[in-house]
Structure formats: structure tokens, C-alpha cells
Amino acid sequence: MNKLRGGIIAAALLGLVLLASGCVYFSSVYEVTVNADRSGTVAVTLTMNNSTFELLDLMVQGNTTIAKPLPQYVNDRYFPGFQRNTYNTSSGGVIYVNMMFTMTASNLDDVQYIDLTVSGSELVFQDQRFVGLCDLLLGDPACPQCIYCKDVSVEYKLHMPNDVTTTNADSKTGTLAIWSFNLDDRLNINARCNAPPPTTTTRSPAPTMLVVLVSLGAAAVLLGRKNR
């Protein structure tokens, strides 16, 4: 048995121990802002305790078909096109690793899994990523079933351009809707608000006929004075 394979097996055994002992902490916070012109931002923060991060990082880098750091792998597989930032925090003597992924889009409807449409007088927002994300994680070749979907908590914050009228969120206040769930709930995020009026470009009014006649008259007077 080579050292690489031995390391992967050791990491897998460590993962089983961590899961059985309840030492795995994994949470995610999604925050989406929808602007009146349908542009917006998406920010995702994945937080885990350091032991979980080291386990997953070892599994990913030890897979010969992947062989890249965990933040880069998550970025490429789950958040393509997003900017990435990784930083540590601590609480109660425990170190947590935070992987943050952000995107600014001129049209949020172009972002994968997000649907943003106008239905009648309402702006309709849907994020369907969580419907199949659990299956995607369980089938991940880097670390199959090393994270149980029921152990991953999700907090989703949505900022709409107008007050939220209809939603399946746990709570809503004005333009903000918030969901709290576990990944295995396979929740389809949806919310509605009154659609903002379409943006238009303001143009200077065309000169009136009176202004044109006055201008022509003034030009004629000046011309007459020059010819004297």
C-alpha cells in the first residue's frame, strides 16, 4: 500500500470517527441581493471547524483525478465564476475555516440555479440549487458521503427591491426574507414582490417650433446687420 492511498484511507477513517463523535461542524450562509434593474450580488460563506476542513482538504488533494486545494475545488465544482476568499475565525477556543464565494451579476437570471422573472405585476425569484445539491454532494468523487446532508445547516437571506409579498421563507420583514433549513430538506427557495417599473433613459426634449422660429429670426437679424 503506497503512502498516498494509506493517507486517504486514514482520512476516511478519521472522517467516520468525527461523524460518529459529532465533532463535525459545517454551516453555510447564502445572501442574495436583487436590485430594481434585476442586477445583483450573490455571497456564499461555508464555515467548518478546522478538523473538518483538514479532513476534506486531504481527501480532495489525495484524489489523483482532482489534486487541488479544497477551496479551489469547491470554487470550480460548485461556484464556477465566483470570486473566492478563505479566512479563519475562532470562538471558544475552536478554529473555524470560512470559504467565501461572491459574484456580481448584471442580470441575476444568468446565474446558475437562479430564476428571476416578471409575472404580471410581480417580480418572481427562485433559487433551485438546494433541490439537487444533496445528491450532488453524495456523488462527489472527491469525498463520497463524507458529509451527511442532514448535518449541513443553511441560512439563506434574500433582499428584494420591493417589500416581499409572497414567499415560503421562515420569516420576512419588508424587503428581506430569511430561510433556515438543513441541506437534506431539498428546499426550493422562492419569493415575490411588486415588480419595479422598467428603467428608461431620460432624453432632453426636442426643441419646439417656437424655439426654432425664434432662433431663425435671431440669425436673420444678425445676418442683416453684417450685410449693412
Query: Is 142 a member of any domain?
Result: yes
DSSP string, 58-81: HHHHH-TTT-S-HHHHHHHHHSTT
CA distances 53 to 91, 98, 189, Å, are 16, 9, 27
Structural domain boundaries enclosing 100: 26-47+81-201
Query: Is 76 a member of any domain?
Result: no
pLDDT tens string 98-126: 999 999 999 999 999 999 999 999 999 99
Query: Is 73 a member of any domain?
Result: no
Confidence of residue 228 (pLDDT cuts 50, 70, 90): low
Query: Is 211 a member of any domain?
Result: no
Query: Is 37 a member of any domain?
Result: yes
pLDDT tens string 131-158: 888 777 777 776 655 566 777 889 999 9
Query: Is 115 a member of any domain?
Result: yes
Query: Is 1 a member of any domain?
Result: no
pLDDT tens string 55-77: 888 888 877 788 899 999 999 98
For 125-172, the three-class secondary structure string (H helix, E strand, C coil) is: EEECHHHHHHHHHHCCCCCCCCCCHHHEEEEEEEECCCCEEEECCCEE
Q: What is the CATH number of the domain that holds 190?
A: 2.60.40
Query: Is 86 a member of any domain?
Result: yes
Q: How many domains does the chain have?
A: 1
User: What distance in Å separates the CA atoms of residue 163 and residue 37, rounded to the nearest whole number?
Assistant: 15
